[in-house]
A = this chain, B = another copy of it.
Amino acid sequence: MEKSSIHVNFERLKQTLDKSSQIGKIPDDGLRRLALSNDDKQMREVFVRWLELGGLDIRIDDIGNMYGRRSGLTDLPPVLIGSHLDTQPNGGRFDGILGVLTALEVLRTLNDNDIKTMRPIEIVNFTNEEGARFEPPLLGSGGIAEVFDRNFIYSRMDRNGNTFKEELEKIGFKGDSENRIKDIHSFLELHIEQGPVLENEQISIGAVEGIKGMSWFELRVIGEGGHAGPTPMAMRRDALMVAAKLILHIEEKGELSGPETSVTIGRMSVKPDVVNCIPEEVLFSLDIRHIDDNVRERLIDELKKELKEIAQGHKVQLEFNKLWEVKTSTFHPEIVNLICNGSKKLGYSVKRMFSGAGHDAKYINRIAPTSMIFLPSVGGKSHVEAELTLDSDIEKGANILLHSVLELSNYKESLS
């Protein structure tokens, strides 16, 4: 059988996805399947049955990451595929779930067609990608990549004071550290885009070249309060008026810096926050992302200088505090090429792109050659009930994953 003629069984994939969409279901087609909750437990148990039915060797590691291994003709390091089955509190049915279930469909299709691969293939479900219940996110993949040590992961606490460790034991998914995947030939994660770019350009497949670096800041503008009535405008040092000027300067600067830059002010608070009081203090967040760390850092340096000048010009104080920073991750170009070439061969439109958001692939990229396949999000929506990826795109994505895995699992050499 000519490999390029193999296709996934979309009806079966759709049924599998429908079953997942029932577990933790909330109104408006949403899902609430928080990490290590009862719903997560139920989903994991269903997933175990599916792995068993697929004839896969199942392992659970000490962080609760789940693996299903399909043997290869050799014991060379495996190709890893998958993502995560947990969701946000008001999440959708697709997100990372699509990455795990298309991976399952890929293995089922290989079984259907009785295809042997040189390398083993492993499917993975990472624990607590979302970070919605236990912060920070990406605990499962970060654990494998040794970004977080086990004690740190175990001690994470939810809002009710339950630790990660207790909850992992309670749902019966605490395995052995020996089961962690170690030597990985390559990792490929399919995920929804979570943004509007693919839909807007009417493209089905995103070949993800990396994850944009980002910096988070908190800016505090300190002016002078006073009563709205008795204080003439010319005598004010209104923190909110100056904050509005700073925000527009940030926006303009971000736009001038090119389409790859994004700046976002997502959080803002005003003190004392009373209709007839002149704001004495304004606090707002700043999220800056760019694929080039140097561009991001230069932009930050310039912004710091310029914003301080604007603040001084209005006789208010400005504090600029860094909350968090992460550098750009660059994925393996050979895997990116493989996604692009596969798409062209199958006649699917494809676009090389960077991810603006973090994914398990970010941490696995530290220990193995990695890339991601993005599928369009209708309206760019994600982490909401209305999250949607069209059937036709899901089918194309699963086929690209299938063909990429077939290629990777027959690589003799490791990817340099």
Contacts and interface: CB of A to CB of B under 8 A. Distances in A.
Interface of A: 193-197, 200, 212, 214, 216, 225-235, 238, 240-241, 243-245, 247-248, 251, 254-255, 259, 261-270, 272-279, 285, 287, 289, 323, 355-358, 377, 380-384
Contacts of A380: 226, 230-231, 235
B279 A227 contact: no
A200 B235 contact: yes
Contacts of A355: 229-230
A232 B214 contact: no
Contacts of A259: 232-234
15 contacts: A194-B229, A195-B231, A196-B226, A227-B382, A229-B356, A230-B377, A233-B251, A233-B255, A233-B259, A233-B262, A240-B266, A240-B268, A244-B248, A265-B279, A269-B269
Please state the number of chain copies in the assembly.
2
A193 B265 CA distance: 38
A229 B195 CA distance: 8
Contacts of A238: 264
Nearest to A261: B233
- Of residues A226, A254, A323, which shows the largest number of chain B Cβ atoms within 10 Å of its Cβ? A226
Contact of A230 (B195, B235, B247, B285): B195
A226 B266 contact: no
B266 A267 contact: no
Contact of A193 (B230, B243, B255, B384): B230
B264 A276 contact: yes
Given A227-B357, A228-B287, A264-B228, A254 B233 contact: yes
A263 B287 CA distance: 30
- Of residues A228, A232, A241, A285, which shows the largest number of chain B Cβ atoms within 10 Å of its Cβ? A228
A245 B273 CA distance: 19
A262 B195 contact: no
B278 A267 contact: no
Given A267-B275, A268-B273, A357 B195 contact: no
A226 B356 contact: no
A314 to B, nearest CB: 11
Nearest to A356: B229
Contact of A263 (B214, B233, B263): B233
Given A232-B259, A233-B261, A226 B273 contact: no
A389 B233 CA distance: 22
B267 A268 contact: no
Contacts of A193: 230
5 closest A-B pairs by beta carbon, nearest first, are A195-B230, A229-B356, A229-B357, A228-B264, A244-B244
A66 to B, nearest CB: 26
A244 B244 CA distance: 5
A289 B382 CA distance: 43
A240 B234 contact: no
A235 B411 CA distance: 40
A278 B270 CA distance: 18
A254 B265 CA distance: 26
Given A240-B265, A267-B274, A230 B356 contact: yes
A275 B214 contact: no
B279 A275 contact: no
A262 to B, nearest CB: 5
Contact of A227 (B194, B233, B278, B323): B194
Given A235-B380, A241-B247, A248-B244, A356 B227 contact: yes
